[in-house]
Structure 1
Amino acid sequence: MRAPLISATVLLAGCATVPTAPAEPAATYRALGTEPFWSLTIDGREMVFTEAAKPNSRIAEAQPRAIHGFAGDIYQGRRINVNIVHGQRCSDGMSDRVYQDRVQVRVDDRSFEGCGGPVEGRR
């Protein structure tokens, strides 16, 4: 009669959850463009878009889940929509810096094109 009790205890012990370490946040991603100068930061929590010539242009919203497309990642927010094309080297046209991605951003009814990539050293 004791065998079924022991088997049930062993079975239940195997179902216990083991705590795991929290997932490491994704690297911060930064994109920018010229004419007009703009920047976009995606940090794992929110997306923040600003235009340099407009002091009160900061638009921030919660970062939506990424849609992983064939060429890159897509983020569709309420006001900010981002299309990142990975592996298409890009120059901002103002400096000698080359970025690893091309980025298209749509904010409200305006479109912006530029370059981007992960910010090194930030997690």
Structure 2
Amino acid sequence: MRLILSSLAVLALAACSSETEAPAPAEPPPPVELGGVNLDQPLRALGTEPFWGVDVTANELLYSGVDRPERRATHDGPEVMGTVATWQGTTPDGGAMTLTLMATECSDGMSDRTYPLTARLQVGDETLNGCAASTSAIETVGESGRVIDAPADPAS
């Protein structure tokens, strides 16, 4: 009996002192992309006739336009289905704002730019059509050409 108790004590001590492996750090999920555009970064959708724009951040849609009041809507991120991403937003007064981006090239009709995404914005009872890309790509492109983010510099 002493032998059994001694063996159990040794096993119990061994179990307590054994090193446990720490779980491997979880890899972050890959970014959600649509038409080659990372949807996890700030985005901008815009249109002409009438001129309008929507800035998309991590939790907000900010709508503005010529002769239109600025409107903000909170959102919980995009719902992505195939080649379409949709943000459902709610304004402080409970109004709805829906931005839909489609992975099809788009021209704004006013410049010689080609955007990677086509946009549709529903604000109240108005539907506006336009184009979209990452904010950084729109801010760095000229008045013509493809609106795309520059490739990352491997030296940095």
**TM-score normalized with structure 2 length:** 0.62
The one of 127, 132, 138 equivalent to 1:116 is 132
Deviation of 1:110 (Å): 1.0
Number of aligned residue pairs: 116
Cross-structure match for 2:34: none
Alignment of 1:28-43 (within 5 A): 28-43=42-57
Cross-structure match for 1:74: 86
Deviation of 1:3 (Å): 2.2
8 Å CA contact retained: 1:80, 1:106: yes
Matched, 1:92 2:100: no
Once residues 102 and 84 of structure 1 are traced to their aligned partners in structure 2, the CA distance between those partners, rounded to angstroms, is 6
Where 1:35 maps in the other structure, the secondary structure is coil
Cross-structure match for 1:48: 62
- Which of structures 1 and 2 has the larger relative contact order (alpha carbons within 8 angstroms, sep 6+)? 1
Matched, 1:7 2:23: no
Structure with max Cα Rg: 2
Which 4+ stretches in 1 moved above 4 angstroms? 8-11, 13-21
RMSD of aligned Cα (Å): 2.9
Instruction: Note the residue ranges of structure 2 that are not aligned, 5 or more in a row.
Output: 1-8, 32-38, 91-95, 140-156
Deviation of 1:16 (Å): 7.2
Once residues 16 and 30 of structure 1 are traced to their aligned partners in structure 2, the CA distance between those partners, rounded to angstroms, is 39
**TM-score normalized with structure 1 length:** 0.77
Cross-structure match for 2:41: 27
C-alpha deviations, 1:69-123, integer Å up to 9, x for none? 122211112221011001x11111111111111001101111100000112379x
8 Å CA contact retained: 1:89, 1:101: yes
8 Å CA contact retained: 1:80, 1:105: yes
Deviation of 1:10 (Å): 4.6
Identity %: 22
